[in-house]
Structure 1
């Protein structure tokens, strides 16, 4: 009987062992399930935290990009007004440096401390940005006032310039009239000839024999002119031969001068002090060889303009 009960006990023990093992495994599986559940929740929370951090990082990057754009706008506005601002360029460089650091953060590595630090820096930049906007607005206002004042001054200057131009033209016209009025005039122009014996001959018709002429003598008076200043005047005489060429000899005082801007030869010249007394002036010219036959012309000049003219004939 005892031998029959022993196998039965062994079977019962085996069943108990199996049940115990099952319960242990069941407990282990429960623990593992719980741990997996907790880990899953932790992973979900971690993923959520990373997503939040990444969202904060993206928002911070966008905020700095906006700050950079605003600072660059301010820089362009100042440049448009012809102004330079080194401190503004330094701010743009600082914002660029912060942007570079923000973009270097790996996913989920943007900590709360980082968020706080960059948010404070962004707020500081925004405060500086507002201050600079206020300064630029005041500069624009000042520039508009200055532009208005400048336009007013330009209008006044233009009016003054027009007035001065009118006065200058009037003065120029008056000066031209005075210059014309003050021109000297030669009157009573007479031509005579001197022969080899130093005898002078004159003719009412101004006709002389060429072979007997040694010198040509021209006399005249300077007419009265109350406008002309009493000063030294340079009188030029041109003696033109029948072909129109002027007699001149550098050794006897001939040379060149300007008539209406063109160079011309003169036969003789002399300086006189005009005294408004109808003073007489005389030229005596010796050619040194025979004169050509035909009509000759005497032209008298002062200050580059013609003051008198006459003709004579050598036969």
Structure 2
């Protein structure tokens, strides 16, 4: 009976102890939940502050870029803005990497950037006004330049018309000069080739035996020409064999002359004084006894002062 009462007392004491322990633990758990909630609230608040600061700094960065570009376009100085942009980039990097700065510190930085932007707005308005004046001046200059360009075009047109007129006159003068020069050229008529034997006997008729030909004498007369100058003239004779080759031997007086802008061979030449009276001219080509003329048709061409003045032919059988 006495043992039962002791056990009952111990059980009641144990129950009371566990009840007290449970209450204490419950208190500690409640306090822990409260502390965690406070920590969560602080963290959420800090995150919100940092996020707000980052958004503000990014916005200010965009505004700085826009201001730099606009002021540059107007010819203003942007060194201060570019330095502020570099500092802002450093602030953003510091914000991302550490949370050491307080909200008040970032608010102060943001306020400084905003103040700088406001200052630059005033400078930007001044530049716009100055550029507006320059634009008006430029419009005036453009208008003046347009007028000058129009006047220049008119002058160029007049110059071109004058140049065309001068060219036309020059061309007509050249044509007239060419006509006068051509009209003043000598003209040979009655061109004949006589055969001279080794005994000095002359034969005419235009057809000769090779054995009877030692020299060729070309005779002709020059037509009177009222506009031709009466002075010394050089007449070139070309004798072409049946194959079209020019008879050419420097040993007996052959050479070269300018024929229509090109160097050409001549068979013989004669210097005369043009008397403008229908004078007769003769040119002798001495080929020599050692070489006989081949049979066939030979052509005679006469030139003077750059013009062909006559032609003829003969045959060898």
TM-score over 0.5 (shorter chain):
yes
Length, aligned pairs only: 244
Name 2:237's counterpart in structure 1.
237
Distance 2:298 2:65 in 1: 103
Cα 1:119–1:231 shift into 2, 3 Å: farther
1:125 alignment counterpart: 127
User: In the superposition, relative to structure 1, how do residues 212 and 60 fare at CA in structure 2: closer, same or farther (>3 Å)?
Assistant: closer
Q: How big is the alpha-carbon RMSD for the aligned residues of Structure 1 and Structure 2?
A: 3.6
Evaluate the alpha carbon distance shift between residue 131 and residue 60 of structure 1 in structure 2; reply closer, same or farther with a 3 A threshold. Answer: farther
Displacement, 1:116?
6.9
CA distance in 2, matches of 1:57, 1:313: 108
2:154 aligns with 152
CA deviation after TM superposition for structure 1 residue 149, in Å: 0.9
Equivalent runs, 1:2-21 vs 2, <5 Å? none
- Displacement of 1:237: 0.5
User: What is the aligned counterpart of 1:295 among 297, 303, 306?
Assistant: 297
- Residue in 2 aligned with 1:83? none
Report if the CA contact (8 A) 2:196-2:203 is conserved: no
Normalising by structure 1, what TM-score?
0.63
Which of residues 58, 66, 71 is equivalent to 1:67?
Answer: 71
User: 1:185 maps to which residue?
Assistant: 187
- Cα deviation for residue 102 of structure 1 reads 4.1
SS in 2 for 1:224: coil
Q: Which residue of 2 aligns with 1:218?
A: 218
Once residues 61 and 243 of structure 2 are traced to their aligned partners in structure 1, the CA distance between those partners, rounded to angstroms, is 105
Give matches, 1:186-201, under 5 Å: 186-197=188-199, 199-201=200-202
SS in 2 for 1:173: helix
Contact 1:191–1:202 (8 Å) recurs in 2: no
Residues 178-216 of structure 1, C-alpha deviation per residue, up to 9 Å, x if partnerless? Answer: 23312211123333333223x24133x233333232211
Q: Which residue of 2 aligns with 1:21?
A: none
Shift of 1:133: 1.7
SS of aligned partner of 2:220: strand
TM value normalised by structure 2: 0.63
**CA distance in structure 1 between the aligned counterparts of 2:66 and 2:236, rounded to whole angstroms:** 92
Q: Deviations over 1:260-299 (max 9, x none)?
A: 5666432112344434333433211111222223433222
Distance change (3 Å), C-alpha of 1:296 and 1:63: closer
Structure 1: gaps of 5 or more residues: 1-46, 72-90
Task: Please state whether the residue corresponding to 2:144 is helix, strand or coil.
Answer: helix
Equivalent-residue separation in structure 2 for 1:134 and 1:67 (angstroms) = 19
Contiguous gaps of at least 5 residues in structure 2 = 1-51, 92-105
CA contact (8 A) 2:192 2:313 kept: no
Q: Judge conservation of contact 2:68–2:82 (CA < 8 Å) in 1.
A: no
